[in-house]
Amino acid sequence: MLYHKTYELGPEWPWVVFVHGAGGSSSLWFRQLKAYREHFNVLLLDLRGHGQSHRLQQVVQGKYSFRDVTEDIVRLLDHLGIRRAHFVGMSLGTILIRHLAELCPERVCSMVLGGAILRLDIRSRVLVQLGRLGQHFLPYMWLYRLFAFIIMPRKRHQESRLLFVREARKLCQKEFKRWFRLATEVNPLMRYFRERPVGIPTLYIMGEEDYLFLSPVREQVARDPHSTLAVIDGCGHVCNVEHPELFNRQSLAFLSIQRDGATQTK
């Protein structure tokens, strides 16, 4: 079972599940926890090979697929008896949430997708290809620092870069390669998802300076009536760390509407 931690107000309160991205851990959400605990039961988890889940050898064997990693989350929900929840994700964690909505739509009340990855553009694909070529002879932390700098290049993104690099040090070289291979699945998987809308209320929260990933999100929101977009000025990829107050205010307002609407329909 994945490493996890819960904060519960009581059985009558709705759940929010936080899903971090590749190279991160549940510590990514430290600036959300206090605000969310006042309104929801909260589940934090470390994905396989990340954070404190890296010690659980039974979940880190063999090659990975997005389905494998998503089913880890489903098994954890079953273990905890969480039938339905709101999901908040960051970066690659947004793909896992969307995959969960595909596999088990009845379990997803709504989605908050920060720094969402919906498509790899030509720059991202070149970056992935360079990484695939270099992973066999370059130290993985050197590659990770390079990726972090390209995705979050500005001086005001430094805190986010340092946070992700610090957490990525907990990954071993083998784990890094397993997760890195998932990048090659992003475009075909997200193309499939675009053809199969799930109709679940979705809020995208993106940084204005998230230049690799913002444009595809704008396109998605323009064609999906169930989704909305909030753009944070002067902010990069990891918007929940760089501007936590705005992220919390916008996401909690959205989730409160979804929670209250669900209550009224019961």
Task: Report mean pLDDT in 10-residue bins for the chain, 266 residues.
Answer: 95 97 90 97 94 67 82 97 97 95 96 93 70 64 71 78 73 69 79 85 96 93 96 95 96 91 50
pLDDT of residue 56: 65
92 beta partners: none
Question: And the tokens for 234?
Answer: 């002067």
Give the predicted TM-score (pTM) of the model: 0.88
Residue whose token pair is 């949430």 = 97
Q: Can you tell me which residue has the tokens 């329909």?
A: 265
Query: H or E segment at 15?
Result: strand 15-19
Residue pair 193/98 in contact (Cβ under 8 Å)? The answer is yes
pLDDT of residue 141: 67
Please tell me the distance from the alpha carbon of residue 4 to that of residue 53, in angstroms, as a whole number. 8
The pLDDT score that the predictor gives to residue 264 is: 43
Enclosing H/E stretch for 205: strand 202-207
- The C-alpha atoms of residue 230 and residue 239 are separated, in whole angstroms, by 11
- Give the pLDDT score at 263: 47
pLDDT value for 142: 66
